[in-house]
Amino acid sequence: MKEGERVRLVVLFGGRSAEHEVSCTSAVSVLQALDPDRYDVVPVGVTREGRWVLAEEAAKVLAAGGPKALPPALTAEGPTVGPLETVAETGEAGPTVVLPLLHGPFGEDGTVQGLCELAGVPYVGSGVLGSAAAMDKITAKRLVGEAGLPQTRWLGVREWDVDRRLASVVEDELGWPVFVKPSNLGSSVGVSKAHDAGELATSLHLAFTYDEWALIEEAVDGREIEVGLLGEPAEASVPGEIRPSREFYDYEDKYLVDGAELLVPAPLSAAETAEVQRLALGAFHAVRAEAMARVDFFYDDRGRGFVVNEINTIPGFTPISMYPKLWEASGVPYAELVDRLVRLALKRHARRASRVGRRRQLES
C-alpha cells in the first residue's frame, strides 16, 4: 500500500460449507483489527444457500459504534449483490482487495480465488491452484509424498468404490484405529475415529455426507504441532502445540468448549523447531501455497519424528485460533498480520499485471 492510500477491503465471510459459523466469527476479529483510516471496509456475507449479500447491519455498526461495537459473530444477512460486481468495484481513493474468510468448499478451494482472477482484483492468500490442492486432503497427501516429506499413512476412497474388502485393506495397511475425514472440508467437521470395521462403516457414512471422497488415515499417538507460514518468500512462525481436552482435536474442542490447551511457542528444542519449520516450508511449497498457510504436524516420539498432517490455506482468524497466536508470538501482532496480507495481495497482483504487460509488448 502506498503511503496515505486507502484500500477498499471486501471482507468475505460465511459461505456454503459446514464451517459457516467459524467464518462469521473470524470476520469480527479481522474487522476489529482494521485501521478505519487505512481501509474502507465492505463486509459481504455468503449465505448457506450461496447468495452473496451486503452485510448492511455490520456496516452500520462499524460506522456508528466502531469495531468494538460488533457482535461476537457476523450474520450473512442483507440485500443480494452480484459477486463479480462486488469484488470488482473500484474504490474512490485506492485499490480494491478481497479478503476471503470462507473456510472449506466454495471459498478455500480455489472457487472464490478464480472469481477474483476473472474480475482482475487482488485477493489475500493462495491462488487457484494452491487453494484447490491444499483443500483436497487426498491431493495434498499425494503432493506432499511426491516432495519426499514424511506424513501419516493413508488411503483415499470414493463413495461408490467402497466394498466389503476395504476393512481388511485398512487393517493390513494402516492398522486400527484410523481417522476418517471428508477429503474437502476443515475444522474437523465430519471427522471421526474408527476402532474396527463396524465403526469404519459408520465413519465413512458420516464423511460421505460432506464429500464423495474420504481420507482414511492412520491414528498417530503423538503431539500435535502447528506452524504458520507468511510472506513471499514465505517465513515460518514459531511452532505451537495443541493439547486436546477430548480424544482428538475435534470441532467442539476447537470452537465450542474452550478446553484445548494451546502452547505458544511449543516446548521443542532448537533443533526440533528448525526441523518442523523446514518441513512446514516444504509442505507449503509442495502444494503451491502462497502468502499464508498453517501446516499441522504430529510428532511421533517412537522414531518417526514430525509427520505432516494437513495444510490450511485460510486458517482460522478467531480470537482463539492458532495462526494469529503463532504470528503474535513471532513478533507480528494481529493488526499488522492483516496489513501484511493485504500488501502481499497487492504486490502479487502488480507482479502478475506487469508480466501480462511484458507479454503483450512481445506479441505486438
Query: Per residue in 259-298, pLDDT tens?
Result: 678 999 999 999 999 999 999 999 999 999 999 999 999 9
Domain ranges of the chain: 7-123, 134-151+221-329, 154-218
| CATH class of the domain defined by 134-151+221-329 | alpha beta
310 as an active site residue: the answer is yes
Q: Distance (Å, rounded) from C-alpha 159 to C-alpha 209? A: 10
Q: Please give the pLDDT value at position 6.
A: 87
Q: Which of 131, 183, 203, 312 is catalytic?
A: 312
Q: Which of 136, 217, 218, 310 is catalytic?
A: 310
The strand pair at 223-231 and 240-243 is best described as antiparallel
Find out whether the peptide bond into 105 is cis, omega within 30 degrees of 0. no
Cβ neighbours of 36 (radius 10 Å): 13
Q: Which of 6, 223, 294, 348 is catalytic?
A: 294
247 as an active site residue: the answer is no
Closest CA to 96 of 10, 31, 12: 10
Query: 154-218: what fold?
Result: Dna Ligase; domain 1 (3.30.1490)
- Residue/partner pairs of 332-336 with CB below 8 Å, 24 or more apart: 332/230, 334/29, 334/33, 335/33, 335/34, 335/35
Query: 7-123: what fold?
Result: Rossmann fold (3.40.50)
Q: Which of 78, 130, 240, 316 is catalytic?
A: 316
* Mean local confidence (pLDDT), 25-36: 90
Q: Which of 187, 188, 192, 309 is catalytic?
A: 187
Q: Which of 39, 210, 251, 255 is catalytic?
A: 255
pTM: 0.90
Q: What is the pLDDT of residues 238-255, one digit of tens each?
A: 999 999 865 544 445 454
Q: Distance (Å, rounded) from C-alpha 112 to C-alpha 107? A: 5
Q: Please give the pLDDT value at position 181.
A: 94
Report CA 48 to chain centroid distance, whole Å: 18
Under the banding of pLDDT at 50, 70 and 90, the label for residue 22 is confident
Ramachandran angles phi, psi of 50, nearest 5°: 100, 5
Closest CA to 98 of 41, 58, 50: 41
Q: Are 33 and 322 in contact (CB under 8 A)?
A: no
Q: Are 95 and 346 in contact (CB under 8 A)?
A: yes
Instruction: State the angle between helix axes of 137-146 and 128-135 in degrees (0 to 180), rounded to the nearest 10.
Output: 100
Average pLDDT, the chain: 89
312 as an active site residue: the answer is yes
172 as an active site residue: the answer is no
Q: Distance (Å, rounded) from C-alpha 8 to C-alpha 296? A: 33
Q: Please give the pLDDT value at position 359.
A: 61
Q: Please give the pLDDT value at position 332.
A: 97
DSSP 284-326: HHHTT--EEEEEEEEEETTTTEEEEEEEESS---STT-HHHHH
316 as an active site residue: the answer is yes
Q: How many residues would you count in the chain?
A: 364
Q: Which of 226, 250, 296, 339 is catalytic?
A: 296
296 as an active site residue: the answer is yes
250 as an active site residue: the answer is no
Q: Are 221 and 179 in contact (CB under 8 A)?
A: no
Q: What is the pLDDT of residues 110-152, one digit of tens each?
A: 999 999 999 999 999 999 999 999 999 999 999 999 999 999 9
Q: Helices in the chain by DSSP H: which ranges?
A: 20-33, 56-65, 83-88, 111-119, 128-135, 137-146, 166-173, 197-207, 251-255, 270-286, 322-329, 334-363
Is the pLDDT at 83 greater than 90? The verdict is no
In Å, what is the CA distance from 355 to each residue of 94, 352, 359? 22, 5, 6
Q: Which of 6, 14, 19, 109 is catalytic?
A: 19
